[in-house]
Every structure is written in structure tokens, then in C-alpha cells.
Structure 1
Amino acid sequence: MSLFNKFKKIKSSSEKNHQSNDETSKHISKKIHHNVTYLKDRFKDCSDIIFRELKRNLSTNQSAQILLVFTDGLVDSSTVNENIIKPISFYKELRKQDCINITLLQEIILTNNIKTTKKFDEIINSILSGDTVLLIDGSDEALLLSTRGWESRAVEESSVESVIRGSKEGFIEDIRTNTAMIRRKLKDPNLKIKDLKVGSRSKTSVAVMFVEDIVNKEVLQYALEKLEIINIDGIFDSGYIEQFLEDSTFSIFPQIQVTERPDKVCGNLLEGRVAILVDGTPDALIFPVGLVQFLQSPEDYYERFIFANIVRFIRFIGFIIATTFPAIYVAVTTFHQDLLPADFVLDIAKSRIEVPFPPIVEALLMEGTIELLREASARLPSRIGQTIGIVGALVIGDAAVRAGIISPVMVIVVAITAIGSYIFPHFSTSYSVRFIRLPMLIMAATFGAFGIVITWAWIIAHMCKLNSFGYPFLAPFAPINMKDMKDAALRVPIGGFVSRPTPASSNNKKRK
């Protein structure tokens, strides 16, 4: 099914969902005590929901009832006290009024963002999102006042995508801080942000970002419709969104790029891609992407192109080493000893005299040990984790060689493979590499070099079939696109980037 047909099918389902949601929406009453009863019933046993009642005398010797509802801990208390309660309490002109209406309060209150609503679902969502809701007796409208002010982590360098040269800013868990960092780098009115609420209970804020005159409109609409029909009660990380958006769920290769760097998001937005930010997580999602993007780093564009190309070439070599090096060793030592010099074959044979296991068992034992150490060091505190990884690798490797369980050459092969798997700029890429190694080893032990060729043929065929929102995963190599080759395995100097890559819409291909 084409991307356009999927879009039409998803759109029809989304419209049905919107219709059912609108029909079940409840409106507020003009009598404030009815509204108070309803809200207190919905927030029963919620000790952090504050109901603050205010009364102001009017010229008719009657008092106007005003109710503020907000969540303690999610609002900025000084904003509520100084910009809402204080103006209402001390505004002298209120005593001369016959009644208090929404328009008058909008002029008095000093918050920077005020909205009106008649729906209880919007009121409840605003309260739980950190806004303050103001209700007036005799009015069937409520004011939604922006008072969000919870504690958040300071902006710091990403620990996953650190660079030597370049910006040291990384996303944090607050979505508005993240969008502000992108807006500060891209001061373009065509940079648009669409806010959505995803999750029937969590109501998680999701921001879809794109440059309007560059983005591929079909990809954008397809993503928006898929977001709107997500049916789940809670979204707590961008990983939820990623798994709902990707088309090939069972593929070992990611079809969406994950990053913590604002500069990388900005660069991809200018290439016509779409970025998604999720409140509560420092990871942004970027699509459509291909395999080439997962092997690129922002630092490739900050250094001179000669040095950047050398590093990028080493990265591609590391991909081959991390996926195939143990399989090549197993195939050569098991089936193809005649490919190696005689002296080298004798040295390998001497080192394996006391080893009771065949090379494939050695490789699986060492790979399993490396994976255990990797997971253990990742789950422990950073300082202890580094110590466990280094000490564990040295002690276990040396003890295994001395005990005659593993040959010294196998330890070297596995160590080089592990180093090769750590050079990828994106941690998610290493999962795919680690998964590929296992079938590659088994096929090499069974069929030798022919098994490696078969496995790579299967992997390449799978990647040729794979796409990310209609964009071929192996582009620009398959299908070949010479225009996009300027930033693929190697890149041209910055001055050579005169046109945008394929993901951009066709009406704005020239960079300007």
C-alpha cells in the first residue's frame, strides 16, 4: 500500500475518532456550585488539586464568586499570587461594577497567555498540565491561565552524543525549553510547531516541528494522522511514538532517528524532514531517514571536509568490523585456513591447542560475556559502571585465556569488534549491529565464507525493501541518486551544498 493510500485510510479513521470525542464532551454550567461539585467529584482524593475561592463586593451590595483551580507543584506560585489573585483582590474598579464578566477579568489578570473554553475536558487537561482555571458564577465560560512553573533539569551537554567541536547544548525533559532551543537556532517564521495531546490518560504534550515551505507535505500529513489515531492510555517517552509511527515494526533497523542535539534537529529540518518532541523526554524523533543518516555525526559538518571524510570513512569500516569480523575469523579458522599465511595459521593453531571448544563456541561465549558486561555497566552508576566494564573485561579475558577456555586470538577479535560497535554516533544503531552478529556467526560456522555472503545478501535485500515514510532506507545508493551522493559515504565541502536532499519537497530544492 502506498503512502498516499495509507494516509487516506488513517484519515478516515481519525475523523471517526474525533466525532466520537466531540459528542462525549461536557460543557460547564453558569452556576458555579454545579461546576465546583463536578470538578471536586472528578478530583476526589487528589490532595494536590487546590480550589481557591475569591469573593469581591459589587456595587449592588452583592458578592461575586470567583474560583481558581490549579495543581500544587505544577504551577508557579508567585505567578498565581502576584498576577492573578492580587490583581483581582485589589482592583478598586470591581466595586463599581454590577457584575464581573470574563472580558473584565482578562484585562485585569497579568498572565501572558489567556484562553477561554466551555468544555470540562479542556479545563481538566489544563489543570493537570500546570495551568490555572478561573470560573465565575453566572458565566458558562472559563479562563485558562498560563501559570506553568515546575522544576526541570538544567540544559547540559548530551551524554550520548557528545562532540569535541560543536554545540554543547542537549535537550531536557521540558518540551517548551526544547522547542525554544530550536527556535533560537532557526529564526524563521516558516518553522511551524503543531501541538498535540497523545495518550487517553497521560495527555502527553507532543510537538511536531517542520519548516513549512521545505517539508514534504505528504509525509507530514501522514505522520500527523498516525499521531492522532494512537490509541494508548499513557505516553512516557518518545520510544512509544517511534514504535507507533514506524511501518516495519519487526525490522531490526530503526526507521526513525533519535537525537538529543538541537543542532542536529535544525539541520534535518532544513533538509525537509519532520521532528517530533515529546514532553518528559530529552529525545527528539527525526524522519524520514536512511542508513546513511545513522552513520553521520554533527561533527562531520563542523570540521574541514578532508578530516570529516576520513572520520566518516572509518565509521563505515567500523560498521563492517562490528558486524562481520568475528564471523570472518570463525569462517577462516574452520573452513578456509589456506587463505592465511602458513606461519600465521601455525600461530593460531598453537594458541588453540589447549582450547576444548570450536571457534563458534568460543565466539558465542565471548560475545555473551561482552553483552553481560555492557548491560551491567549501563545499569550501574557511571563511575562504578566504568570500573566494572574495564576490570571485568581484563580479569575475565585473562582468566579465560589462562584456563584454556578461550584462545588469545579470539579475545583480540572480540575486543576489536566491541570497539567497532562503539564508534556509531547513534546508540540505537548498535542494537542492529549486535543483532546482525549472531546469525552472521552461525552462518559462518555452518557454511564458511559462503554463509557470510548469504547473510549479507539477505540483509541488503531487507534494507532495499525497507523505507522510512516512503523514503528508501538505502538511498542514495539504492536507488542511485547522484545529487544526494554529495553527503553520503563522503561529503563535499560546505559550499557544495547548493540543493536540498530528496526528503525535501520539490518546490524548494535550492538552499537559500
Structure 2
Amino acid sequence: MMEAGDTPEEDEANRGTETLQGKGERNGKPKDPKQKKRDKELSNSVEESIEYWHGEDKVPESLNQTKEVLTEVMGLGASFDVVFREMTFGGTKAALLFISGFAKDVILDEILKRLTYLTPEDISSDAFAAFMINYIPHIQVEKSEKLSDAVIKTMSGMSALFVEGEAQVIIMDTRSYPVRGPEEPSIERVVRGARDGFTETLLSNIALVRRRLRDPGLKFELHQVGRRTKTDVSIAYIDDIADKTQVKAVTEKIKSVNIEGIPLADKQLEEAIIGEKWNPYPMVRYSERPDIVASHLLEGRVVVFVDTSPSVMVIPTTFFDLCQHAEENRQTPLMGSYLRWVRFAGIFASIFLLPLWMLFVIHPELKPAPLMFIGPHETAKIPLLTQFLIIEFGVDLLRMAAVHTPSPLGSAMGLIAAILIGDIAVQTGLFVNEVVLYMAVATIGMFATPSYELGLANRVVRLLLLLATGLFHVAGFVIGSTLLIVLLTVNRSYNSSYLWPFIPFNAKAMGAILFRQSVISSKTRPSFNKTRDNTRMSPATGKKDKS
């Protein structure tokens, strides 16, 4: 139980409430004796609210008392979608509590139809046991003695059946969430491959992974995060592959999260369990593809599902994991390696192309002989560094505008950006041709980055390198690049090296990063994950298949 103290501000608020109540009485409205108690309630959780109004977290034996507590705790009578249906079955009073938007009408109709046939003789001995065991035709049914359990599970979509004279409640899983069908993720599209992606429903997402991994060792542990939101969070891992120490660390971290809620789902949970404040680089990998998540589970990773989010978190991750795409594994090893090298080149260009070009323009003596053609042949009215900064912010504005622009207007916005802004700016002498060209190449490299979060981080690093190079020339570029490598080296994703297998160096694993390996040649799992079972196939099987 928590009540506000008698501070001057609260005394003034109480006097204001009493004044309003006095005015209500003068206007003919009766004074609500519970209003002052409502104004003083400062409960941080459902349990505290029930204890505040009922004195203990137990199911009342009286339905009238249960209704009074629910009226104060979950807005019964005030919220139109909270239903407390009182009925009589076989001479015994009962009440069904559910949220109308979550309840599955077909299941509830079948349950109520069965209960209406009861006679007093059917439930003469033990009404609760009769309802629980014999007369509720539903699979997922449980009982509880805590009123908070009934309230929390009702808010998540279940239904609670209270029986007069019983200090227990029957909780039935009659949920039916509003969902959309699985669609291909817009960020992780492939030319060939599955077209299903995660949705905002936790159970559907788990089923998509279960369909691909029929391993009995695949575990999905369920937890709830948030004192108010009670958001369902599931931790997935393969029991005989994943590192138990890592699983335990992630589980304890999620259990220790003590915030009011995570309405923005996985991103807020990431900030709560990772704790990296100003580091631009993502410490987890987000994916909306169930086939990618299944592959990571087979590698020994830990995957975190958050209800209401169409993406999941893969823990731990590395910089090179974020640079890989599902399309590479849908092609032959040769073409997959080619696509990977092109993507690596694009990511490198998105970070270093503009700072290097600026450095060569400022110091032409540093240019190698084959690159002597690099550099603007005409001057512009705006300094070079200012041109880069204006175009950088312009590209970000265009990116944000593209997100908020309706699809029919997207082509029109592209024409405005390409013709009115780019071409005219060059013709009027505000910008240099090469500045626009190289910025376009760097932007394409950023968009070619598979991880959206990594692309944004590289964009911030590029901006900082531009500033350092423009202000401090060679020293700025060298020191900035060195600090970038140091930042990536010291980063730890759940006590795992962020630059593995480059730092610490692992030649075999680095070769698998640079060249896409065939399934038969990938006989062991990455040592980065510290898996309990490191073998994907036995050496004898590999030799037999090879022959």
C-alpha cells in the first residue's frame, strides 16, 4: 500500500478536490466518499493497487466485493471494453471477467452454453471443482488464489471466472489478438526465399520459428517486463547448443528490469538490458525474418522476442554479422561471395570515401599517381566542408521525408531531389559536381548496409570524420580513423568481441566471413558463441558426403 504524504502541494490538491466535491454537492450531485482515497493512490503495480483497495492480494469470496475492487483497480464501469458478466449456473452465482476486444466469442459461447445446462444437483458438492474439472470444455485452464493474477491475465486477453463463496478464480485462455498476416520484411527483402516475416503477435512469431526448427531442445522462456505494461518477453535458445552462462546472464538482466513499461517494445528493452548510452553502433542484431533467426539459434545465439514488435533481438552480435544479408545464402557460394564483397565495398565507401576525397583535395601531394584526376576542376561559392555538411543534412531530410511520404508521391519527391535540388545547385555554382557524385555513392553504400541501425551509425561516423578531416587535415583523418577502430575494438556485445573474427583474429572464421561457405563445408559452429555443442556434422559424415 502506498499513499501520498501530507506535503503542502498535496494538501492544496486535496483542498481543491474537496472544493470541487463541495460544488458537486451544491449542484445536486452526491459526494463520492472514495474520491479522496482515489486521489491519494500512488500504486506502481497491479499488486500494490489491489492491496491498497482490498488490503491483501487474495480473491474475495463475495462477488460484490470482487466487483468493488475491480471497479477501482481496472476501471470496471468506466472502461467500456472491461466486461464483468454476472450469471447463475445451477443455482450458484458466478461472474465472467474479460476484455471485449480480446475475447474469442466462439470459445466463450461454448463455455457458457455448457455451464447453462448445469443443475443444482450437478454442483452440490464443490462448485469450484465442478466448474474447473468437469464443465469447462477448454484446454488451457488454470486456477489462482491471487486477484492480481486474474487482473494481469485478463488485461493480456484471458478470461477469469469468479464463483460466489470461493476464494479462487478460474483463468481461461480465450485470447484472440488483432493480427495481420505474415508479410515479407521491407528491409530484409530477398530475390529468392521465404516471403513470411514476423508480425506484432508474440505467439505467431514463435510459431514461425518453430516451423523451421522442430528441435525439442528449442526453449522459449516467458517473462513479463514493466510494472504497468506487463509486456510479454520470450527468451529463445537451443538448450544443448547455447552457452548456459550467456542465457542466464540475459535472463537475469531482463528479470532485473524495473521500469513502468516498454510500450515501444524491443528498442526500449534493448536500452534497459544493454545500457549503451551514446555508442552509435548497435549491440544487438534486429531481424524480421524467421529463417535468419532460426539460423542464429542453430549457431548458439540467444534470441529475444517482445510482444507487439515485428522484429526480434539476436544476442550477441558482431560488426560482420550486421554486414551480412540473407540474399548471399540464397545464391551459390561464388555469387554469394561476390555479393558479400560488393556489399563490403559499399559499407567501406559509406564511411571513408568522402573523408578521403576531401583529404586528397586539401593535400594533392598525397594522391597516388593513378588518382591524379581526383579533385574539383572548378570552384564553388560555398566552402568544401560546408558543401558536405549541407548535403549530409539534406540527404537525412530526404530519407526522413521518404519515410513519411505516401507511396503515390514518392516518385515526385525523387524528381524534386534529383533535378530541382541536385542539378540546379550544381549549375548555379553552389556545389561541385564531384561532391554530389561522391555523396550519392556514399549514400548508396549506406542504404546497401543490411542493418538499418549499422547504416545510421556509419553515417554519423562519416560526418565526424568529415569534420575532423576538414578542420585538422591529415591528423584529423588519422586520429579519427584510429578512434573508430578503437571504439569498435572495445565494444562488447554481452562480453563478446564486436570485431570478431578480426579482433581477436581467427583465420578460419575470417575466411568464412570473406567467402560464403557451402553448407557441407561448414562443419562447426562459430567459436564466438561459446556453444556447448560445436559440431554441426561429424567429420565422418563430411568425408562421406564429399566423396
| Match 1:101 to one of 102, 121, 127 | 127
1:85-107 Cα shifts (integer Å, max 9, x gaps): 11101246x54431443332232
1:509: which partner in 2?
A: 534
Q: What amino acid does structure 2 have at the position aligned with 1:359?
A: L
Q: 121-130 or 497-506: which moved more? A: 497-506
Q: 445-454 or 397-406: which moved more? A: 445-454
CA contact (8 A) 2:185 2:197 kept: yes
1:391-427 Cα shifts (integer Å, max 9, x gaps): 3233200110111000111111111111111111111
Q: What amino acid does structure 2 have at the position aligned with 1:50?
A: V
2:163: which partner in 1?
A: 136
CA contact (8 A) 2:376 2:434 kept: no
| Match 1:175 to one of 186, 202, 222 | 202
CA contact (8 A) 2:63 2:162 kept: yes
Q: What amino acid does structure 1 have at the position aligned with 2:189?
A: S
CA contact (8 A) 2:242 2:532 kept: no
Compared CA separation, residues 390 and 209, structure 1 to 2 (3 A)? farther
Q: Secondary structure at the match of 2:527?
A: coil
Looking at structure 2, the residues matched to 343 and 140 of structure 1 have their Cα atoms a distance apart, in angstroms, of 84
CA contact (8 A) 1:173 1:280 kept: yes
Q: What amino acid does structure 1 have at the position aligned with 2:495?
A: G
Compared CA separation, residues 101 and 374, structure 1 to 2 (3 A)? same
| Match 2:66 to one of 21, 32, 35 | 35
Q: Secondary structure at the match of 1:511?
A: coil
Looking at structure 1, the residues matched to 95 and 408 of structure 2 have their Cα atoms a distance apart, in angstroms, of 51
What is the TM-score of this pair, normalised by structure 1?
0.90
Q: 24-33 or 364-373: which moved more? A: 24-33
| Match 2:149 to one of 122, 129, 142 | 122
CA contact (8 A) 1:254 1:429 kept: yes
CA contact (8 A) 1:50 1:70 kept: yes
Q: What amino acid does structure 2 have at the position aligned with 1:122?
A: D
Percent identity between the two aligned chains: 25
CA contact (8 A) 1:117 1:143 kept: yes
Looking at structure 2, the residues matched to 51 and 118 of structure 1 have their Cα atoms a distance apart, in angstroms, of 18
Q: What amino acid does structure 1 have at the position aligned with 2:484?
A: I
- Give yes or no for the alignment of 1:370 onto 2:395: yes
Aligned pairs for 1:346-425 (under 5 A) are 348-352=375-379, 355-425=380-450
Looking at structure 2, the residues matched to 103 and 266 of structure 1 have their Cα atoms a distance apart, in angstroms, of 42
Relative contact order (alpha carbons < 8 A, sep ≥ 6): 1 or 2 greater?
A: 1
Q: Secondary structure at the match of 1:197?
A: strand
In the alignment, structure 1 segments of 5+ residues that lack a partner are: 1-16, 58-62
- Give yes or no for the alignment of 1:68 onto 2:99: no
Shift of 1:231: 1.8
| Match 1:464 to one of 486, 489, 499 | 489
Shift of 1:40: 2.4
Aligned pairs for 1:177-216 (under 5 A) are 177-216=204-243
Shift of 1:174: 0.7
Q: Secondary structure at the match of 2:534?
A: coil
Shift of 1:186: 0.5
1:300: which partner in 2?
A: 328
Shift of 1:340: 6.0
Q: 72-81 or 487-496: which moved more? A: 487-496
Q: What amino acid does structure 1 have at the position aligned with 2:107?
A: T
Q: How many correspondences in the alignment?
A: 485
CA contact (8 A) 1:483 1:501 kept: no
What is the TM-score of this pair, normalised by structure 2?
0.84
CA contact (8 A) 1:328 1:449 kept: no
- Give yes or no for the alignment of 1:287 onto 2:312: no
Q: Secondary structure at the match of 1:67?
A: strand
Aligned-residue Cα RMSD (Å) equals 2.3
1:365-413 Cα shifts (integer Å, max 9, x gaps): 1112111111111122233235313432332001101110001111111
Looking at structure 1, the residues matched to 365 and 529 of structure 2 have their Cα atoms a distance apart, in angstroms, of 50
CA contact (8 A) 2:188 2:326 kept: no
In the alignment, structure 2 segments of 5+ residues that lack a partner are: 1-43, 538-547
